[in-house]
């Protein structure tokens, strides 16, 4: 009896890992160029279209898990290895969050202080960007496909366009 129960539990777990879930991702996006766009460009960006690119899927919202890096072509991808649960979807890869080492430069030099502050601000921006999910999905026993519409914002850490 105990052996039968163990076999059932193990086989259900294996089926979760072996199943393939079909993803269909549509995206809209902000206008991230310099000059003011015309209405035609804005309308095109606001119209959902198949997503092409890479997304990062994590079960742990703090991205402390390995996660899945998935390339989408024409909005489509097949993903295996997802167990039941809630997942967060990210546009940018995870980064390691660490406390920057103290800079051994002369702190009385104002340009060095300014450079260090700029670097810290850039680092904080990269951390914020990397931990901002663009979608969440729930996977359960019955899940065979996932359809999402995501919105792609401009990179908050890039220089503004003229």
Task: Give residue-wise pLDDT tens across range 39-55.
Answer: 999 999 999 999 999 99
Q: Is the pLDDT of residue 17 over 90?
A: no
- What is the percent of the chain where pLDDT is above 90? 61
Locate the domains of the chain by residue range. Answer: 2-91+134-152, 94-132
Question: Which candidate, 94, 125, 161, places its Cα nearest to that of 117?
Answer: 125
Question: Which candidate, 49, 3, 57, places its Cα nearest to that of 29?
Answer: 49
- The reported pTM is 0.77
48, 71 Cβ separation under 8 angstroms: no
Yes or no: domain 2-91+134-152 corresponds to CATH 2.30.29: no
Would you place residue 97 in the very low, low, confident or very high pLDDT band (cuts 50, 70, 90)?
Answer: confident
Average pLDDT over residues 20-28: 98
Q: Higher pLDDT residue, 79 or 7?
A: 79
Q: Is the pLDDT of residue 143 over 50?
A: yes
- Which residues share a beta bridge with 72? 53
Average pLDDT over residues 6-14: 43
Question: DSSP 3-state assignment of 109?
Answer: coil
Based on DSSP, count helices (H) and strands (E) in the chain, helices before strands. 3, 8
53, 71 Cβ separation under 8 angstroms: yes
23, 72 Cβ separation under 8 angstroms: yes
| 61-83: b (≥16 Cβ within 10 Å) or e | eebeeebbebebeebebebeebe
Would you place residue 158 in the very low, low, confident or very high pLDDT band (cuts 50, 70, 90)?
Answer: confident
């Amino acid at each position: 009896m105990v052996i039968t129960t163990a076999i059932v539990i193990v086989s259900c777990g294996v089926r979760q890992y072996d199943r393939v879930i079909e993803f269909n991702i549509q995206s809209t996006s902000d206008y991230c160029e310099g000059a003011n766009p015309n209405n035609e460009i804005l309308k095109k960006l606001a119209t959902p279209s198949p997503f092409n690119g890479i997304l990062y899927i994590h079960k742990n919202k703090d991205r402390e898990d390995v996660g899945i890096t998935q390339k989408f072509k024409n909005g489509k991808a097949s993903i295996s290895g997802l167990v039941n649960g809630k997942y967060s979807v990210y546009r940018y890869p995870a980064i390691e969050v660490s406390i920057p080492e103290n800079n051994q430069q002369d702190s009385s030099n104002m340009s060095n202080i300014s450079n260090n502050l700029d670097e810290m601000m850039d680092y904080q921006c990269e951390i914020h960007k990397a931990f901002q999910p663009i979608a969440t999905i729930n996977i359960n026993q019955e899940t065979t496909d996932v359809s999402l519409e995501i919105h792609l914002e401009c990179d908050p850490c890039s220089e503004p366009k003229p």
